[in-house]
Chains A and B, each alone.
Chain A
């Protein structure tokens, strides 16, 4: 395939993916918005007003970056895992597998779809947060970079989950038992400075901590982790997961018989 043909194949997958989540916006865009508004009201307004300050900011201001990241993570992951698994389940994945579209283009197309939904939900949640607190941007470049990298990373994660999934139950196990606990323990609601030394050190094994803190740095200018180190960790995860996805696609594990 020429590079122009590859571009067309890539855009075909991206268009299909974006049309899919836009067509079912009641399932894909609305629920995370409602969930985050409830977080803002309950944790930010009601409980947050009694907590006072954290990291030098109002509690509401402190948790907003984490909650935005939480919605980006769950939606980019959820988009790819559900879309790719449905494609596999219905057999329509074969449409791509019999075509000359290179494997990396298939992966890039799905990841872009996941990133698009992550960014769309992130933008909606950010807009809604404006009703509850005033957000100031400390470093726009870091914000954009971290959101993009995080959504790429979790889109790749969703892809791997979908490849191994054999039932619809399998695509909810990782989000429920791994992703949600890691997100809650990733410094969304608290600074790890509050934790005893052991748990503060243990938290550093949680990759989500780096994303939440790097993003918080972009908005508030404060972070529990050095931003450069956080970006390095996220990059390492992306390279690792991308390589594994390509291995799965090239060997046909979970995809070809």
Chain B
């Protein structure tokens, strides 16, 4: 029987100012999953995670964490969750070590054990040398890692990350991906929101896309990517080209004299293009996707959802 780390059923949220952020969303995240919750700004991602982490009061619906209903067993549910919010939300005047040790205290972990776990996490996240410094003196990337250490100190089974790599340089981002992949492999379920779709595509196995308070897509990453009917590749050419070569069955377009765009539809393969270009004496030095595949799908889904809603309101 499938065990769910998170079950959201018909969740509604209307704020005091009348704005409806969630219009009855339902969502299931399996235990052990690495799950992406994507959506444009203001779509309802942070509100959803806010309700799950009990920082936002819901209007209607139910939320269960490992089967514990937030309305009935909030304390048990909280013990199983670790939350890394979008904004830095630790006391900037506290020392790095104290931020993590105090969080352990709020979960009832004795100080000796809290200090031991803090040392372990700060070392893993490359912050041990900074342990006695005021947290406000850390760089943006270090602050993000501090929030991850803080969220993990009570060993949660579900880790919720709201844009954990926002504003983090690429090298650090990749090291954070490795760290998150490792803890996911060790059994921690991870739910992630991000605007870096490359991040979601490379890390997550399942995905939900939320837009204007509704879930507009909820599937596995593999199934979602399969729905992409056309992929556009950019080929870097060794020598400049004056005109687009003729390749029957394929759509080609020159971006500039050394870059050629090739559209591949589902069922086609790219070998045919290479063969024809090679016959024509055109040498390709490298190739890349024009846009991230998930990005392509994401934009299509959100755009068609907006069009549908405009149609309904018209």
Residues of chain A at the chain B interface (Cβ within 8 Å):
1-2, 4-6, 8-9, 11-13, 15-16, 86-87, 90-92, 94-102, 252, 256-257
Contact = CB atoms under 8 A, between A and B. Distances in A.
B108 A11 contact: no
A256 B103 contact: no
A6 B109 CA distance: 10
Contacts of B78: 98-100
Given A100-B78, A257-B56, A94 B106 contact: no
B91 A252 contact: no
B89 A90 contact: yes
Contacts of B109: 5, 8
B88 A91 contact: yes
Given A1-B75, A257-B55, A100 B91 contact: no
B57 A12 contact: no
B83 interface: yes
Nearest to B13: A257
Contacts, number: 85
20 contacts: A5-B108, A8-B109, A8-B110, A15-B105, A16-B98, A94-B89, A95-B89, A95-B103, A98-B53, A98-B78, A98-B81, A99-B103, A100-B74, A100-B75, A100-B78, A101-B107, A252-B57, A256-B57, A257-B50, A257-B55
B198 interface: no
Given A100-B75, A252-B57, A11 B91 contact: no
Given A2-B108, A11-B105, A95-B150, 5 more contacts: A8-B108, A8-B109, A13-B105, A99-B107, A100-B78
A100 B150 CA distance: 15
B105 A9 contact: yes
A105 to B, nearest CB: 9
B85 interface: yes
Contacts of A101: 106-107
Interface string B270-282: 0000000000000
Contacts of B223: none
Given A98-B78, A256-B56, A90 B108 contact: no
B255 interface: no
Interface string B145-166: 0000010001000000000000
Nearest to B52: A98
B90 interface: yes
Interface of B: 15, 50, 53-57, 74-76, 78-79, 81, 83, 85, 87-92, 98, 102-103, 105-111, 150, 154
Nearest to B47: A257
Given A100-B75, A256-B56, A87 B106 contact: no
A contact patch SS: helix
Nearest to A10: B105
Nearest to A94: B89
Contact of A4 (B74, B89, B91, B108): B108
Nearest to B106: A99
The 4 closest A-B pairs by CB, nearest first: A5-B108, A12-B105, A91-B89, A99-B106
A256 B16 CA distance: 12
Given A98-B53, A256-B54, A257-B50, A6 B108 contact: yes
A92 B88 CA distance: 9
Nearest to A93: B89
Contact of A95 (B54, B75, B79, B90): B90
Nearest to A99: B106
A12 B54 contact: no
B79 A92 contact: no
B57 A257 contact: yes
Contacts of B87: 91
B89 A12 contact: no
Contacts of A252: 57
A94 B55 contact: yes
Contacts of A97: 54-55
A90 B54 contact: no
Contact of B89 (A11, A13, A92): A92
Contacts of A5: 107-109
Contacts of A90: 89-92
Nearest to B135: A92
Residue of A2, A87, A99 contacting most chain B CB atoms (<10 Å): A99
A48 B14 CA distance: 62
B314 to A, nearest CB: 32
B54 A100 contact: no
A66 B150 CA distance: 45
